[in-house]
Amino acid sequence: MRAPVVLRGFEDGIVIHLDDRRDFVMVEAALRARLATAGRLLGNVAVTVNVGERELTPAQLGRLREALAEFNLTPARVVREVRLDGEAGLAAKAMPVFPGTESATGSDGQWASRSEDTLLYRGTLRSGQKVQYQGNVVILGDVHAGAEVVAGGDVVVMGTLRGMAHAGAPANELAVVVAYRLLPAQLRIADVLGRAPDHPEKPDRPELARLQDRQIIVEPYIFRQGG
């Protein structure tokens, strides 16, 4: 039997998975206990909470937020999964359960996600595979050369992006692409196309691509919690 709460870390952030098969009161207690044991190891991190297929009530959402706040954590995204037809074992539609903020990217690389629906893909996208969705797309793995990710919103890759990524399709110029290692064969935001250099340097930190003056610019992604 899997643990009621599982924390998985990535560069500058964590994903908290809550078991949707157990009683919420028990999961809430397990979350507080798990965060207490993690303690100072958490630091200032971006937090994504996956509540599985459980549909939480407003009261339960409030208690979840309170539990995180006790450890000075604020969820950047809280999602609920719904299995997609024909994609069993591959993807889950992750629906935002807390209202998000408008997308905003500052000169310091800070980025706030939107509130539209998100497709959460757990695993590696291999050559010939394609994920397309009208909202945001989050890949919990790598995107190999020859694979494609197309999103009406943002594209977030919690691994290495070597394939093609199109954010903001077809005309959302506020969309961004974020990856732990951003090495795309092709990068597109809205209707603006950019290509990787012939011999790109291997990035040593997460990077963010966005539009500025109708040009795609790439800059370090720096997470700082609380202003």
DSSP assignment of 186-210 equals EEEETTEEEE--SSPPPPSS-EEEE
Q: Tens digit of pLDDT for each residue in 136-178?
A: 888 888 999 999 999 999 999 989 999 999 999 999 999 999 9
pLDDT band for position 114 (cuts 50, 70, 90): very low
Considering the chain, what is the average pLDDT of its residues?
A: 79
pLDDT at 31 over 90: yes
pLDDT band for position 11 (cuts 50, 70, 90): low
Domains of the chain: 1-92 (3.30.750), 99-227 (2.160.20.70)
Residue with tokens 């539209």: 116
Q: Pick the closest to residue 133 from 106, 75, 82, 93 (CA basis).
A: 93
% of the chain beyond a pLDDT of 90: 34
Q: Specify the pLDDT at position 91.
A: 53
Q: Specify the pLDDT at position 108.
A: 41
pLDDT band for position 96 (cuts 50, 70, 90): low
Which tokens is 92 given?
């889950």
Q: Specify the pLDDT at position 71.
A: 86
The arithmetic mean of pLDDT across residues 44-70, rounded, is 84
Q: Tens digit of pLDDT for each residue in 169-214?
A: 999 999 999 999 999 999 999 999 986 655 456 777 889 999 999 9
